[in-house]
Amino acid sequence: MKKIGVFPLLEKLEAVRVARELIGLLKTAGFQVVMEEESATRLDATELGCRKEDLPAQLDYGVVLGGDGALLSVARRLYPWEVPIFGINLGHLGFLTEVEDKDVAGAVEKLKNGDFFLENRIMVNAEVTSGGRQRACLVGLNDIVISKGLVSRLVRLELFIDGFFTGMLAADGLIIATPTGSTAYSLSAGGPIVSPQLSALVLTPICAHSLFNRPLVVGSNSVLEVKFTVPPREVMLTADGQESLTLAAEDEIKIYTAPYRTRFIRFKEKSFYHILREKVKEGRL
Q: Which residues are catalytic?
A: 68
For residues 49 and 19, give the distance between their C-alpha atoms in angstroms, rounded to a whole number: 14
Cβ neighbours of residue 120 under 8 Å, at least 6 residues apart?
Answer: 261, 262, 263, 264
Give the integer Cα–Cα distance in Å for 84 and 211: 43
Q: How big is the CA angle at 283 (ends 277 and 285), to the nearest 5 degrees?
A: 70
Type and span of the H or E element at 81: none
Whether the Cβ atoms of residue 30 and residue 3 lie closer than 8 Å to each other: no
210 DSSP 8-state letter: S
